[in-house]
A and B are shown apart, each in its own frame.
Chain A
Amino acid sequence: MKGTKSILLVGVGGQGTILASKILTNVAIKQGYDVKMTEIHGMAQRGGSVVTQVRMGEKVHSPLIEPGQADYIVAFEQLEALRWIHFLNDAGTVIVNTQRINPMTVIIGSAEYPSDALEQVKAAAPKTISLDALEIAKKLGNIRVVNVVLLGAMAKQMDIAKEDWLSALEATVPARFLELNRQAFQAGYDA
């Protein structure tokens, strides 16, 4: 890996972005990289937009990812992908869950959910991989593994050995959920 890699994980409070970023940073540390991660808690926990920023490389100074700088955006929800798409760099990759979650502004009718959100994301980022992680998770029998499905899809795009991802997964999730999470990771990887 050359230079610093910047990864943005975006979604809706409660979707499990934090666990995904934990596994990601564990992988990065194992590779011997300097790692920084920043996220905003607080109000965002209550169903608001959430964003986690991860940067890894030989030496990382700022934990912040700025517009036009992200190498990867992993979006847990379509609208959130669109909200953050201008953070992607020209060669960047987007992994987007096609799930839609209406914000309160849409629910009460004061705003409209952009029906072409996914198309807009694809137009802005030629390297967009979209998958229905919720459906995949449902098939595996637990909607909470959406995050690990997406992580699997992202792992496929990065030049880090699959075994390293799996051992980071092992180190992060409780043993009784390990098999389920392995399957989720694999399903995302193959998607």
Chain B
Amino acid sequence: MTKVLLTGNEAIARGAYENGVAVATAYPGTPSTEILENIANHKEIHAQWSPNEKVALEVAIGASISGARALCAMKHVGVNVAADPLFTFTYTGVNGGLVLVSADDPGMHSSQNEQDNRNYARFAKMGLLEPTNSQEAKDMVGYALNISEQFDMPVMLRTTTRVSHSKTLVELAEPKARTLKPYTKDARKYVAVPANAKGRTVFVVEERLQKMAEFSETTELNRIEWADKKIGIVTSGIVYEYVKEALPNASILKLGYTNPLPLKKIASFAAEVEQLWIVEELDPFMEDQIRAVGIPIYGGKAELGRIGEYTPSLLRKAILGIDSTAKAPAATPIRPPVLCPGCPHRGAYYALKKNKKLVTGDIGCYTLGAMPPLQSLDTTICMGASIPVALGMEKARPDQAENLVAVIGDSTFLHSGITGLINTVYNKGTSTIMILDNRITAMTGHQHHAATGKTLQGEDTSQVDFEALCRAVGVKRVRVVDPGDLAALDQAIKEETAVREPSVIIARRPCALIVKHTEPRLQVNHDACVGCRMCMGIGCPAISFTDKKSTIDPSLCVGCGLCQQVCKFGAIVPEEVQ
């Protein structure tokens, strides 16, 4: 069949299609998002966005128990959210195969931390596969599902950003039949109460680990490529390609299946090479286990480091001592990502800054409000943290109560904000919560969610009513404001922070990238502009300041009018007027 160039994510989607997956679930998160977006194109698969990763995994678990093959995808931190069902599902085991895709992000290209989720596979006692390129990513979906059914457990397919977002050639295959296994009630397996679980830990989970270890020793996924035996490298994932690039003469033990590790195979490989190197990004996941069984290691984490991504030249330098003398980079100002022209978050942050509020933040495009010149965020921890963190601050420092505002995006509010809000109401907090409702999950590339009215596969569906939802959990003061109207926003912030009860301001305006802009573009009347720089304070990329005057780039302006509202001299006018 033909070879096509696919990203790792596209390849995983294709793998799901070819290998009989019937239900696929996810909550978006870079670098995993495109997996479900691509699966959604196959109408024979039910593909869905769930409000968060825990729910997504639970839906996949249900599909598996009922006999279907299922796939659930998330970014690395998503597994933290889904850890609860995961750790018990490894006890109960599967019916139809279940693959959990964890997309890790060494180098933190778009994440708040660098956690190495291979540790989860070991912690939860589940199988673990690490693809090197898109072909393997596709093939390993099939392996993972087979292994899952063979050993009666979920299997983790762990990618990294460079696998998820690199395109490499893939050979396509015909899809297998999508068959449903029979479902028979089996409470001792699927009802995880202590009595049942105790039985399973001893007789199933531990016994299974033994069998998985034997499998790991014999599977073709773990293979030796003999070459010169002076240097022997044990590696997995994308790093294998860096090893091939940097050390074409080294012998390699390439591991595709890494939990449990094939320790016997590693020992016999080690015995034949002079220098054994363990080459893996992030944690010493393999290295620690190999050291623990007494296999002498010549080099690893101490020489290569445990932070960020590896590169071929890093390996060349550390292992061969060859320093490719590259030129030094030129001094250049950085170009950080910014809120887009017309972004509704800009108005919200401007108003908060003007009111000098202490702002607990959350995760989304609106986290960019932490950057200059708005710099309006005090905290960002994880999705959903804004509301509870504000309450914690209020309880610790009651004098700050009137000064606190929690900001949270619409998708994030549905992900894990609502429980925080319930907690604030229940525990008699008085915080002001601002839902930055731009009608979409913007940061990860505009995915629908439960309040947009569309499913992942494009069907019309119901919409969460934020106003009614907030009232239902006990918030009495709920109001909707347009963040494009600075005066209204300012008034809402002043009034709601002043009252001694919890209140919700829904700042509602769709993301500037999902609407057609009909307002006239704006320009600066240089005769009226006094060069006060007020408009520069909103941090709009369309506005620049030269020769003591502001100028608006017409190719970037969408006419949102925010700059016009902050200009005290009427110098900003619609294009036709001047």
Q: Which residues of A contact B (CB under 8 A)?
A: 12-13, 25, 29, 34-49, 61-64, 66-68, 79-80, 82-83, 85-86, 102-114, 120, 124, 143
- Determine how close the nearest CB of chain A comes to the CB of B161; give it in whole angstroms: 7
Q: Which of B523-545 contact A (CB under 8 A)?
A: 536, 539, 541, 543-545
Given A66-B324, A105-B372, A107-B539, 19 additional A-B pairs, CB 8 A: A35-B5, A35-B169, A36-B167, A37-B166, A37-B167, A40-B165, A41-B110, A46-B339, A64-B162, A64-B311, A68-B324, A68-B325, A86-B329, A103-B333, A105-B335, A107-B541, A107-B545, A114-B331, A124-B327
Chain B hits for A45, CB < 8 A: 337, 445
> Known contacts being A38-B167, A63-B241, is A46 close to B536, with CB within 8 Å?
no
Q: Which of B234-277 contact A (CB under 8 A)?
A: 241-242, 244-245
> Known contacts being A86-B329, A108-B372, is A35 close to B167, with CB within 8 Å?
yes
Structural contact, B330 and A67, CB atoms closer than 8 A: no
Once the chains are docked, how many angstroms separate the CA of A108 from the CA of B338?
Answer: 12
B498 within 8 A of A: no
Structural contact, A40 and B109, CB atoms closer than 8 A: yes
Structural contact, A111 and B445, CB atoms closer than 8 A: no
Show 19 residue pairs from A and B whose CB-CB distance is below 8 angstroms, ordered by the A residue: A35-B5, A35-B167, A38-B162, A40-B110, A42-B443, A42-B444, A46-B337, A46-B338, A47-B337, A48-B337, A63-B241, A64-B311, A67-B324, A68-B324, A83-B335, A103-B334, A104-B372, A107-B543, A143-B555
Structural contact, A62 and B5, CB atoms closer than 8 A: no
Chain A hits for B133, CB < 8 A: 36
Once the chains are docked, how many angstroms separate the CA of A105 from the CA of B445?
Answer: 24
Chain B hits for A86, CB < 8 A: 326-330
Main secondary structure of the interface of B (DSSP, over half): loop
Structural contact, B327 and A63, CB atoms closer than 8 A: no
Q: Which of B1-51 contact A (CB under 8 A)?
A: 3, 5, 30-31
B514 within 8 A of A: no
- Determine how close the nearest CB of chain B comes to the CB of A30; give it in whole angstroms: 11
- Determine how close the nearest CB of chain A comes to the CB of B105; give it in whole angstroms: 9
Structural contact, A103 and B336, CB atoms closer than 8 A: yes
Once the chains are docked, how many angstroms separate the CA of A80 from the CA of B331?
Answer: 11
Once the chains are docked, how many angstroms separate the CA of A82 from the CA of B330?
Answer: 7
Chain B hits for A66, CB < 8 A: 311-313, 324, 326
Structural contact, B30 and A47, CB atoms closer than 8 A: no
Q: How many residues of B contact A (CB 8 A)?
A: 53
Main secondary structure of the interface of A (DSSP, over half): mixed
Output the nearest chain A residue to B555 by Cβ-Cβ distance.
A143
B462 within 8 A of A: no
A-contact 0/1 string along B328-361, CB 8 Å cutoff: 1111111111111000000000000000000000
Structural contact, B312 and A12, CB atoms closer than 8 A: no
- Determine how close the nearest CB of chain B comes to the CB of A169; give it in whole angstroms: 16
> Known contacts being A25-B5, A66-B326, is A103 close to B335, with CB within 8 Å?
yes
Once the chains are docked, how many angstroms separate the CA of A39 from the CA of B8?
Answer: 12
Partner among B169, B324, B372, B444 whose Cβ is within 8 Å of the Cβ of A34:
B169
B192 within 8 A of A: no
Structural contact, A67 and B166, CB atoms closer than 8 A: no
Partner among A12, A37, A46, A64 whose Cβ is within 8 Å of the Cβ of B340:
A46
Once the chains are docked, how many angstroms separate the CA of A13 from the CA of B339?
Answer: 12
Chain B hits for A79, CB < 8 A: 332-333, 335
Chain A hits for B339, CB < 8 A: 46
Once the chains are docked, how many angstroms separate the CA of A120 from the CA of B328?
Answer: 13
> Known contacts being A36-B167, A63-B166, A67-B327, is A104 close to B30, with CB within 8 Å?
no
- Determine how close the nearest CB of chain A comes to the CB of B418; give it in whole angstroms: 26
Structural contact, B337 and A43, CB atoms closer than 8 A: yes
- Determine how close the nearest CB of chain A comes to the CB of B106; give it in whole angstroms: 12
B371 within 8 A of A: yes
Once the chains are docked, how many angstroms separate the CA of A34 from the CA of B169?
Answer: 7
Structural contact, A41 and B5, CB atoms closer than 8 A: no
- Determine how close the nearest CB of chain A comes to the CB of B550; give it in whole angstroms: 10
Structural contact, B327 and A64, CB atoms closer than 8 A: no
B196 within 8 A of A: no
Chain B hits for A112, CB < 8 A: 333
Structural contact, B242 and A104, CB atoms closer than 8 A: no
Partner among B110, B241, B337 whose Cβ is within 8 Å of the Cβ of A62:
B241
Structural contact, A62 and B245, CB atoms closer than 8 A: yes
Output the nearest chain A residue to B371 by Cβ-Cβ distance.
A104
- Determine how close the nearest CB of chain B comes to the CB of A28; give it in whole angstroms: 9
Output the nearest chain A residue to B365 by Cβ-Cβ distance.
A46
- Determine how close the nearest CB of chain A comes to the CB of B311; give it in whole angstroms: 6
Structural contact, B541 and A39, CB atoms closer than 8 A: no
Chain A hits for B3, CB < 8 A: 29
Chain A hits for B329, CB < 8 A: 67, 83, 85-86
Chain B hits for A107, CB < 8 A: 536, 539, 541, 543-545
> Known contacts being A42-B30, A64-B242, A67-B327, is A106 close to B333, with CB within 8 Å?
yes
Once the chains are docked, how many angstroms separate the CA of A105 from the CA of B493?
Answer: 29
Output the nearest chain B residue to A44 by Cβ-Cβ distance.
B337
- Determine how close the nearest CB of chain A comes to the CB of B250; give it in whole angstroms: 13
Chain A hits for B544, CB < 8 A: 102, 107
Once the chains are docked, how many angstroms separate the CA of A83 from the CA of B340?
Answer: 23
Chain B hits for A34, CB < 8 A: 169
- Determine how close the nearest CB of chain B comes to the CB of A191; give it in whole angstroms: 21
Output the nearest chain A residue to B248 by Cβ-Cβ distance.
A61
Chain A hits for B312, CB < 8 A: 62, 64, 66
Once the chains are docked, how many angstroms separate the CA of A1 from the CA of B547?
Answer: 50
Chain B hits for A12, CB < 8 A: 335
